[in-house]
Amino acid sequence: MSRYYTRVCNFYYGSQSKNLVSKKESIPIHQIKEISFDQIEIITRKSKKKISIKEIKYLSKSLKKKINFDLKKIKLKKKNFSNLNFKKIPNILGVLNLTPDSFSDGGKFNTKKKGFKHVMHLINSGADLIDIGGESTRPGSQTIKENLEWSRLSEILKLVSKRKSISLDTRKSNIMKKGIELGVKLINDVSGLSYDKETINVLKKYKTPFVIQHSQGDPENMQNKPSYKNELLDIYDFFEKKIKLLRSMGIKHNNIIIDPGIGFGKNLKHNMSLIHNISIFHSLGFPILVGNSRKSFIKELSGKNDSKLRIGGTIASSIYLMMQGVQILRIHDVNEIMQAIKVFKKIINN
């Protein structure tokens, strides 16, 4: 028997969306009238078929039940957590790397003074939450010892986490524990909670919201010929299995975010498939986070027009992801992205 997946598509944004929702011609994402859709794509591992929402009633009884179950999760209003406001799309997760070797800004902010100054800049530019990391997980990077990672993080976390909303980017359970005790509001583990077997116990004990990111392999080898049977559906299945495991281990809350992990064990084809079809993950029922900022797919697509900061490619992909209902974007250049979003919204609502 075929396994069916539901991808919502053909989105509308702004005043046009509000108008169509009022006429019941489109369905809003999570009851946000500013963004809605009027088509779905029914996907199996062998086929794809797009239909309008008005055609759902003509499907077989079993398929219609499956689609309506997915749509119920897609339409459900999201509860806010970790200073993220799910009444708006998108939220911005600003990035602070306290590392000497991160792929785009290694060493730029890795002192207490520079780090704090950059946190304030990101907040003042419009970031809803700041993601702070002390270990580079760029392709080819090596794992560092826990005491070194914590030495990079501890001072800045003590300085800002009680006053500002902080996400902690780490794979290590003991660092998660220390960060949470200092006031960290979200854990962002690029390994999908798989690197450290104690991670789930820490998250369960503190009931801390967290991000599940998909990654194939470890940072040092993840870009060595990554392969999938079907990257989109394989990663969707990964999230379903991971959520089922977490439930079985006692994590019952829904303060969970999913991140398909652009660039983490993916080549250009995989990344483009995930970005283009990102709206399939809405049917899992959790907010979606995408880290598109400054990623290598921008270089691969732009060729000779690549630039060090890749702001142009980050803006273009951010607007697309916003138009697909992605709730959170992980961004380095917050001010520029906020400018782009504000201008886009004014134009589309004019």
Q: What is the distance between the alpha carbons of residues 34 and 14, in angstroms, rounded to a whole number?
A: 5
Q: Which two tokens stand for residue 65?
A: 């039940």
Q: At what angle do helices 112-125 and 146-160 cross, to 10 degrees?
A: 50
CA atoms within 13 A on the CB side of 310: 23
**Are 39 and 51 a contacting pair, CB within 8 Å?**
yes
Catalytic choice (3, 330, 342, 346): 330
Report residue 221 CA to chain centroid gap. 22
What is the 3-state composition of the chain as percent helix, strand, coil, each rounded to the nearest 5? 40, 20, 40
Host H or E run for residue 17: helix 15-22
- As beta bridge partners, residue 11 has 37
**Are 311 and 289 a contacting pair, CB within 8 Å?**
no
**Residue 167 DSSP code:** E
Alpha-carbon dihedral sign for residues 81, 87, 89, 91: negative
Catalytic choice (3, 295, 299, 345): 295
Q: Is 45 a catalytic residue?
A: no
The residue among 79, 92, 85 whose CA lies nearest residue 291 is 92
**Measured torsion, CA atoms of residues 90, 8, 5, 259, in degrees rounded to the nearest 10:** -10
- As beta bridge partners, residue 12 has 36
Report residue 218 CA to chain centroid gap. 19
- Looking up tokens 């290694």, which residue turns up? 106
**Are 297 and 305 a contacting pair, CB within 8 Å?**
no
Q: Is 295 a catalytic residue?
A: yes
**Catalytic site positions:** 295, 330
